[in-house]
Amino acid sequence: MHTSVETSHSRALFKSNLAGQKTSRVPIWIMRQAGRYLPEYREVRSRMGFEEMCKDPEVASQVTVMPIDKFGFDAAVIFSDILYIVEPFGFDLRYNPAPKIAPLLENPDQSKMFEQFDPAEKLAFVSEVVRATRIRLGDSRAVIGFCGAPFTVFSFLCGYMGAKEMYRPYAYLMKYPKEAEHILTTLAEISLEYLKMQARAGADYVQVFDTAAGELSEAEFRRFSMPYLKYIFEGLKSSKIPSGLYIKNSNHLLDAVSELPLSSFCVDWKTPLKTASEKLKPVSLQGNLNPNLMIGPKEKVEREAVRILNEMADYPGFIFNLGHGILPPTPEENVRRLVATVRAFRAGKAQ
């Protein structure tokens, strides 16, 4: 049962905003909306491992729609993870809940592990999750598929978990540039097929997460990430699949990002929406409420949401989101207040 108002318009609304059109209200979804802040999620998770949940299309699609049923988000992001792409190459992947990959990418010989594979065969469970989600939601909501950017997946393979371990991908890139290029190229080719597969299964929009790219200088981004993103986004564009990109800490990369053929860019909370608007216009923008503020009193959540809505009131194609994933201690009443605030706001009317 999908109880919230304007349900039947959510999917069309979301798609119009991705196309940069002005609409009657601002659509909303949030990164990690199907996650640990939800008691229903924690209940399922107490009985099953994360990986077991992701690989069971019935369970994964049930978890995908939990936040839709509960809060009335306009789009459902499939319950999965960016790192499953490493398993078919022969890497072992465990979650606890942080991902652990074995062996880590450390020597040049390991680049031979990166042979082409067909995601429709090796990552079939992901298209089944998309299909099962579409069946649960019908036409009412948009479905979002995703993958990790080649640079970010490569970084995790090298042992990156955050800024502190960034020296690891740098070390591999500096010591073995040819092998790194082969790995990144192979990841790009498979990622494009992987996203096309999710679109064929029913995803309305696919988002590439380049979380780690914000740690690069602009020149390094242009060298180590952008060529592979370009390959993916050009491929999606020629297949007419709406596509978007998220980078954590993207402020210094916006000029480069503006050269990519994206439908939408998801802005982190440290990057001012005004700067992103000026640099990326007319691309659809998403963002960028600081997820840390979602813990605070709900009045402050509302105030910050209204500030963002006012700032973007004249920007066609704006979609509300957080600047990164929602944090596990976020109170549900704050999420409810956020969705109500965004739904009540009429585009073009300052409040």
Contacting residue, 14, 37, 71, 79, with ligand CP3 by CB under 6 A: 79
The region of 32-40, 256-264, 265-273, 343-351 touching ligand CP3 under the rule CB under 6 A is 32-40
> Least distance from C-beta 24 to ligand CP3, angstroms?
26
Q: Per-residue contact track with ligand CP3, 224 to 263, x per CB under 6 A?
A: ------------------------x---------------
Ranges within 38-57 binding ligand CP3 (CB under 6 A)? 45, 50
If one counts every other C-beta atom within 10 angstroms of the C-beta of residue 78, the result is: 26
Could you tell me how many residues of this chain bind ligand CP3 (CB under 6 A)? 23
Q: How far is the CB of 279 from ligand CP3 (least distance, A)?
A: 22
- Site residues for ligand CP3, 139-168, by CB under 6 A, read 146
Judged by CB under 6 A, the stretch of 91-99, 196-204, 227-235, 272-280 that binds ligand CP3 is 91-99
* Terminal alpha carbon distance of the chain: 32
**Which residue minimizes CB distance to ligand CP3?**
97
Q: Which residue has the tokens 């210094």?
A: 252
Q: What are phi and psi of 288, to 5 degrees?
A: -140, 40
Kindly state whether residue 33 participates in binding ligand CP3, applying the rule CB under 6 A. Answer: yes
Strands (E), the chain: 75-77, 92-95, 99-102, 142-148, 205-209, 243-246, 264-266, 284-289, 318-322
Q: Please calculate the CA angle 230-236-238 and round it to the nearest 5 degrees.
A: 100
CA–CA separation, 351 vs 346, rounded Å? 9
Peptide bond into 282 cis (omega under 30): yes
**What residues from 259 to 318 belong to the interface with ligand CP3 (CB under 6 A)?**
none
Q: Among 112, 123, 138, which Cα is nearest to 197's?
A: 123
- Residue numbers of the site for ligand CP3 (CB under 6 A)? 31-36, 45, 50, 77, 79-83, 95, 97-99, 146, 209, 211, 248, 325
